[in-house]
Amino acid sequence: MRVLNRNPLRRLPALLAALALVAAACGPATPTATVRPSSTATSAPSPAASPPGPAASPTATPDPATVYAAIEAQVVEIRGITPKTDVEPQILDEAELKVRMEKSFHEDNPAELVTANELLLKGMGLFPEDASLSGLYLELLGSQVAGFYSPEDDELYVVSKTGGLGVGEQVTYAHEYTHALQDQTFDLESFDLGEVGQGDRNLGRLSLIEGDATLAMSLWAQQHLTPEEILKLIEVSSDPEALAILEKMPPILRESLTFPYEAGLRLVMGIYGQGGWPAVDAAFARPPASSEQVMHTEKYESNEAAVVVDLPDDLATKMGAGWKVGLEDTFGEFQLGVWLRGALDRVEPANAAAAGWGGDRVVVLQGPNDAWAIALVTEWDTAADATEFADAAGRALTTLQAQTGLGHQSGTKRVGLLFASDAASAVQLDSIVGLTGT
């Protein structure tokens, strides 16, 4: 399940910008990049326009509007989408960014939702017990965001520490302007990325959107940045303080932030390699339905749907007086992999155990006196996949402080996991859902 309900068209780690452009500059014809863009005051020119490139004069200070217009025309030519309306990019400094991020965070995430997500992550051992989910998340965004495009109000923003228009801001604009083109053509709001209860589906859809913008940005960088400008980008992106914040984050936050760019890029590059931009355009009519489809592109190509897993509607009532459902969602293969890698500290076995995911549903229940209980019911492609996951999950459960349980009958495809604050809550939930069969 997604960590939080959020609009991820608003974030990009600076580290990814540097790594992306190194690959774009030094790699083979197919780029491997991951950067995030945005800007200030320009209109979108027609694809036929040929304005000067962003670094036409090495000595004169370029006019921002001219630079943005040049980037827009270049991105339009690369991406092959004709703009329908002008875009007025805006510059934010770091203080303004943090204010906007905090305001957006609290608008998108009611306190009850944040609390339930934090309880889920801590209950599964994905988050430190003494940490604040909202606090760490806002610290992460405040240190990593380079720019964002907001489909809700059709606004595009770029973050500038100096107020100037350097190579980092230009790359950011190429990415975010691609989002503006996507929105004008495919209506990004219609993708319902903030729908609560569809977290893994939302992550799949987001990965297509971000992978597309990352590929377009990478091709732009290959074609329009000099080697010196790429080196400068690496320099400005290697902010030790920002990198330290990124590295200290729990893997579930760090990897959730980077997944749509990295895995999404791999997905879109495969689609692009088979049919160019028309094939990518067609994918917006059939976006990935899960993180599994993003990670295993053959499952996207075959349109392998997730198994629908239903949980009882009256769980809270059956748990007793004072209980409520704080959250119900889909966890997904991606997050199961993060959980197993962290608990087992072994990457390949953990990834293999999460592969073969068929579907799942997770529910967080909150009771009186800070009691809580979590049920995660998973379905697998084959009985062998279920056994492999059950074995790995059983080892992972032994690392936790919470009350836990695991249910799997040999030869079946279902595996149930249970986490609770106390034995009584665990027994009560198990008796309702029948996870362990006891």
pLDDT tens column, 169-201: 999 999 999 999 999 999 999 999 988 899 999
HEC assignment per residue over the chain: CCCCCCCHHHCCCHHHHHHHHHHHHHCCCCCCCCCCCCCCCCCCCCCCCCCCCCCCCCCCCCCHHHHHHHHHHHHHHHHCCCCCCCCCCEEECHHHHHHHHHHHHHHHCCHHHHHHHHHHHHHCCCCCCCCCHHHHHHHHHHHHCCEEEECCCCEEEEECCCCCCCHHHHHHHHHHHHHHHHHHHHCHHHHCCCCCCCHHHHHHHHHHHHHHHHHHHHHHHHHHCCHHHHHHHHHHHCCHHHHHHHHHCCHHHHHHHHHHHHHHHHHHHHHHHHHHHHHHHHHCCCCCCCHHHHHCHHHHHCCCCCCCCCCCCCHHHHHCCCCEEEEEECCHHHHHHHHHHHHHCCHHHHHHHHCCEEEEEEEEEECHHHCEEEEEEEEECCHHHHHHHHHHHHHHHCCCCCEEEEECCCCCCEEEEEEECCHHHHHHHHHHHCCCCC
Domains of the chain: 8-300 (no CATH), 315-433 (3.40.1000.70)
pLDDT tens column, 425-434: 999 999 998 8
Q: How many CB atoms lie within 10 A of CB 192?
A: 11
pTM over 0.85: yes
- With a cut of 90, say whether residue 274 has pLDDT above it: yes
- With a cut of 90, say whether residue 346 has pLDDT above it: no
Res. 106 pLDDT band, cuts 50 70 90 = confident
How much of the chain exceeds pLDDT 90, in percent?
Answer: 69
- With a cut of 90, say whether residue 436 has pLDDT above it: no
Res. 11 pLDDT band, cuts 50 70 90 = very low
- With a cut of 70, say whether residue 86 has pLDDT above it: yes
pLDDT the model gives residue 347: 87
pLDDT the model gives residue 287: 98
Which amino acid is present at 307?
V
- Cβ distance 425 to 371 under 8 Å? yes
- 94-108 and 133-144 are packed helices; what angle lies between their axes, rounded to 10 degrees? 140
pLDDT the model gives residue 38: 29
176: left (phi over 0), alpha (psi -120 to 50) or beta: alpha
- 383-397 and 332-344 are packed helices; what angle lies between their axes, rounded to 10 degrees? 50
- With a cut of 60, say whether residue 3 has pLDDT above it: no
pLDDT tens column, 36-57: 322 222 222 222 333 334 444 4
């119900």: which residue's tokens?
A: 328
Question: Please, what is the average pLDDT of the chain?
Answer: 85
Residues written for the chain: 438
- Is pLDDT larger for residue 46 or for residue 416? 416
Res. 435 pLDDT band, cuts 50 70 90 = confident
232: left (phi over 0), alpha (psi -120 to 50) or beta: alpha
CA–CA distance, 69 with 170 (Å, rounded to integer): 11
What are the Cα distances from residue 351, in Å, to 114, 292, 356? 28, 12, 10
Average pLDDT over residues 345-370: 95
- With a cut of 70, say whether residue 160 has pLDDT above it: yes
pLDDT the model gives residue 105: 87
Give the range among 132-141, 208-217, 236-245 with minimum mean pLDDT: 236-245
- Is pLDDT larger for residue 23 or for residue 78? 78
What are the Cα distances from residue 145, in Å, to 2, 313, 328, 389? 19, 39, 29, 35
* CB neighbour burial string for 369-407, b if at least 16 within 10 angstroms, e if fewer: eebbbbbbbbbbbeeebbbbbbebbebbbeeeebbbbbb
Average pLDDT over residues 99-104: 88
